[in-house]
Amino acid sequence: MLRVVIIGSGNVAQHLAKAFVRSGRATLVQVYARHPEKLAHLLPEEKITTSLDTVAEADMYIIAVSDDAIADVSSQLPFEGRLVVHTSGSVSLEQLDGKNRRGVFYPLQTFSKNKDVDFKKVPLCLESEHEKDYAVLAELAKSLSDTVHKIGSEQRKALHVAAVFVSNFSNHMYALGSSICEENDIPFSILNQLIMETADKVNTLSPAQAQTGPAIRHDGKTIEKHLDFLKDGNRKEIYKVLTQSIQNTNG
Amino acid sequence: MLRVVIIGSGNVAQHLAKAFVRSGRATLVQVYARHPEKLAHLLPEEKITTSLDTVAEADMYIIAVSDDAIADVSSQLPFEGRLVVHTSGSVSLEQLDGKNRRGVFYPLQTFSKNKDVDFKKVPLCLESEHEKDYAVLAELAKSLSDTVHKIGSEQRKALHVAAVFVSNFSNHMYALGSSICEENDIPFSILNQLIMETADKVNTLSPAQAQTGPAIRHDGKTIEKHLDFLKDGNRKEIYKVLTQSIQNTNG
């Protein structure tokens, strides 16, 4: 079985570590963590190291740290010529120190504490500096997920921006809806089905086909009522900008 | 069994008609449609009328037409004292002609052609002018859906605005993500799991807890990269406004 070391103890590192332990099709030999207490619930103590100097030998090292720390951590690794990947959507492969064989292992998912993820369903986007390393990357990826894609640095950059729109910004739409509910004594849970159906629709329709609501209907009266209702400057501004954008894109 | 007449032939009218036929716990006696051909796939010809003058007798009349037409249609009804409801999120009960007993039967869902909806899961938001009519409204609502809420006109107005944010605007985020994918030869379907997981998260976490991404991390470098990538003025503007809003709301 292929042996993996994970470097990091944040959200992505924890979800990855859990996925490797569960899959059983690769060996998680060690996790390097500056904050080992974050991993205590996942791994036995002997699998956690707090020193990069004593990091174990493995077929692949996965650097799952904040984007800004990737270059630093990769140059601190006390070995050369091994396969080292990072997990970031927005950092190029070249940011990794060239003394090792470089790659990217980008899970296209949103990871939160306290919310389990079915890793089998997480698309893994892979890139390797050397063609021959791709097979190892792909084998490891397939041990975790049913969906594996070869995505170069340029495409990954675009994909990451698209992911911010469909996930981070959608979640912010939920946040704004939630605060409107709260201010009007409406339980936010009343919107759960609508949220799920809106997401589910684009599994079968294009977002353009799926668009509904006052903006796409050019229903000026309802839009006016909504803008009157939104006294708060920020939400009103967002409502206007997005209504305009829907009408420009779809209308 | 309670008898229902639906007035209208658009998306909501069609989904409602289908739901009544399927549920079998209320009788859909007739649908009034200016465009009867839109209903031909759903109902036998004798159940469709193109004249309001010959509309059948029923326990409740559901006006499912565009917001602007509700007042007009309700005043054209050739009877008085019966229970007449509309299905709009943003129109007050008072817009219905006062010659009949008025109510609201608002399905909190996004309806598209070519996408079936499990009506059992659609929250129905009810309001009635007369307390005694609420029981009829609720009985009919429960024959279609597992979730029925009593929501007054003021709350419904707020709920409709919240629904625009969580559904129409989220879908537009999918549309923007989709066009970024298209321009970079990435299949949009690669984002389906991320979209579903983002929606699913807020079933168990608050949107504030669920927020991830460069904005909430105050990851200025990634934000700069994304803004550079987004050459198009409109998408760049939206990225900026929403990043700012996430940082103001959550940060």
The predicted complex's ipTM stands at 0.90
Q: What are phi and psi of B224, to 5 degrees?
A: -60, -45
CB distance B167–A216 less than 8 Å?
no
- Shortest Cα–Cα distance, B22 to chain A (Å): 20
Residue extent(s) of CATH 3.40.50.720 domains in chain A: 3-151
pLDDT in tens, A39-68: 988 899 999 999 999 899 999 999 999 998
Q: Which residues of B touch A117 (CB under 8 A)?
A: 197
Measured CA to CA, the distance from residue A180 to residue B168 in angstroms comes to: 15
Q: Which residues of B touch A185 (CB under 8 A)?
A: 155
Instruction: Write down the pLDDT at residue B177.
Output: 97
CB distance B242–A215 less than 8 Å?
no
pLDDT, average across residues B16-24: 91
CA distances from A167 to A107, A109, A116, A195, B211 (A): 14, 9, 17, 12, 9
Residue extent(s) of CATH 1.10.1040.20 domains in chain B: 156-250
CATH homologous superfamily for A156-250? ProC-like, C-terminal domain (1.10.1040.20)
Q: Under a CB-based contact definition with an 8 Å cutoff, are residues A69 and A8 in contact?
A: no
Q: Nearest-CA neighbor of B137 among B64, B60, B73?
A: B60
pLDDT in tens, A1-17: 899 999 999 989 999 99
- Shortest Cα–Cα distance, B88 to chain A (Å): 11
pLDDT in tens, B201-227: 999 999 999 999 999 999 999 999 999
CB distance A162–B186 less than 8 Å?
yes
End-to-end CA distance of chain A: 54
pLDDT, average across residues A110-127: 90
List the strands of the sheet with B48-49, edge to edge: B48-49, B27-32, B3-7, B60-63, B83-86, B101-107, B124-128, B148-150
Examine the pLDDT at A219 and tell me if it is beyond 80.
Answer: yes
Asked if A211 is an interface residue toward chain B (Cβ–Cβ < 8 A), one would say yes
Using the CB atoms, write b or e for A131-140: b if 16+ within 10 Å. eebbebbebb
Examine the pLDDT at A108 and tell me if it is beyond 90.
Answer: yes
CA distances from B53 to A25, B57, B73, B138 (A): 71, 11, 12, 28
pLDDT, average across residues B10-26: 91
* CATH 2.160.10.10 matches B3-151: no
Task: Give the residue from chain B lying closest to A201, CA to CA.
Answer: B115
Query: pLDDT band at residue B250, thresholds of 50, 70 and 90?
Result: low
Those of residues 156-185 in B touching chain A at CB distance below 8 A are 157-181, 183-185
For residue A96, what are its two tokens? 């990794």
Task: Give the residue from chain A lying closest to B148, CA to CA.
Answer: A190
pLDDT, average across residues B241-247: 97
- Shortest Cα–Cα distance, B56 to chain A (Å): 31
- Shortest Cα–Cα distance, A171 to chain B (Å): 6
In A90-162, at which residue ranges do the beta strands (DSSP E only) sit? 101-107, 124-128, 148-150
Q: Under a CB-based contact definition with an 8 Å cutoff, are residues B89 and B163 in contact?
A: yes
| Cβ-proximal residues to A220 (8 Å cutoff; 6+ apart), any chain | none
Examine the pLDDT at A220 and tell me if it is beyond 80.
Answer: yes
